[in-house]
Amino acid sequence: MFKVVIKCSTADIRSDFIVCHITTVATMVVSPEHIRTLHRYEKAILATLERLMKRYEWVPLETIQQATGLSESEVNYRISRLMEWGMVRFNAVPYDGYALVFGGYDTLALATLTRKGTISALGAKIGEGKESVVYEALGLGPVAIKFHRVGGRSFSSARVNREYMPDSGNCPWLLASRLSAEREYAALALLHPNVSVPLPIGQNRHTVVMSLIDGPNLNRCLLEEPVAMLEEILTHVHAAYTLGVIHADLSEFNILIEDGRPVIIDWPQWMETSHQNAKTLVTRDITNLLTYFKRKYKVDYDCGDAVRCVIG
């Protein structure tokens, strides 16, 4: 895990903007300086784009003017700054239109989380997957903030494979990412503390704030008692099942080991135990685990017994 020195004081926090002084080698999601200096007109434009992108793939310039009440010259000036900062994208065909991109969505989420007091500073990047990036942050103490990024190839597969995604209509990657974050937060809220998962702290748009787990992924560990660890993981999978939840994407890559205990992460793809393919999903999760433990530790654990242990 990257370590980061964060220096923030109450005097550094102005309105609902983040002001951070950060010493780190990691790349930030967005520039704290840009968030700090964001003008209220620019924030209004970002919020307007977010709202109107439910109806438009590219929001026309005239529509932005009407929604914000700003002049054409003011809108052009403010949008040019937002484009320079990587928060908005422009498209000229078939008309001059603008769209919010992840930089702008990150800004709106961070500004809201800061105003609510959920976080006060953003630190180093500590994890990245095909559909998310995770940063260390400062709230009441050290926390983790996960930015869901369902876009490109992952967005296409998400619409096909995830039942909570609309199969028709306008569902851009911003909405897909928000739905993914909401679903993960709901799972954590349902499971904690009965299942070993991160404590859910807050959720806004495509972000989830949770407790910071200080430990490596299971695949990076060398376990002294692999059978005991496998059985402990299965116990938590069973506890989740009794609460009506199946992870549905479980593997050695989304289990962290903190102080010798497993913590199961990455829950946006979870399914209810009432799902018609519930047993298939559980079996797939368990097969992934058993395959890993057999490959690395030569543990020969019967899959049928493990599935019965989970389902009860």
Q: Give the residue numbers marked as catalytic.
A: 249
Tell me the HSE value of 284 on the side-chain side, using a 13 A CA sphere.
Answer: 12
Cα(312)–Cα(299) distance, integer angstroms: 22
Q: 102 in the Ramachandran plot: left (φ > 0), alpha (ψ -120 to 50) or beta?
A: alpha
Task: With beta carbons less than 8 A apart as the criterion, state whether 199 and 211 touch.
Answer: yes
Give the E-state strand segments of the chain in sequence order. 5-7, 21-23, 59-60, 88-91, 97-100, 121-128, 132-138, 142-148, 200-204, 207-211, 245-246, 255-258, 261-264, 271-272
Q: Find the largest Cα–Cα distance for the chain.
A: 70
Task: With beta carbons less than 8 A apart as the criterion, state whether 255 and 217 touch.
Answer: yes
How would you class 49 by CB atoms within 10 Å of its CB: exposed for 0-12, middle for 13-18, buried for 19 or more? buried
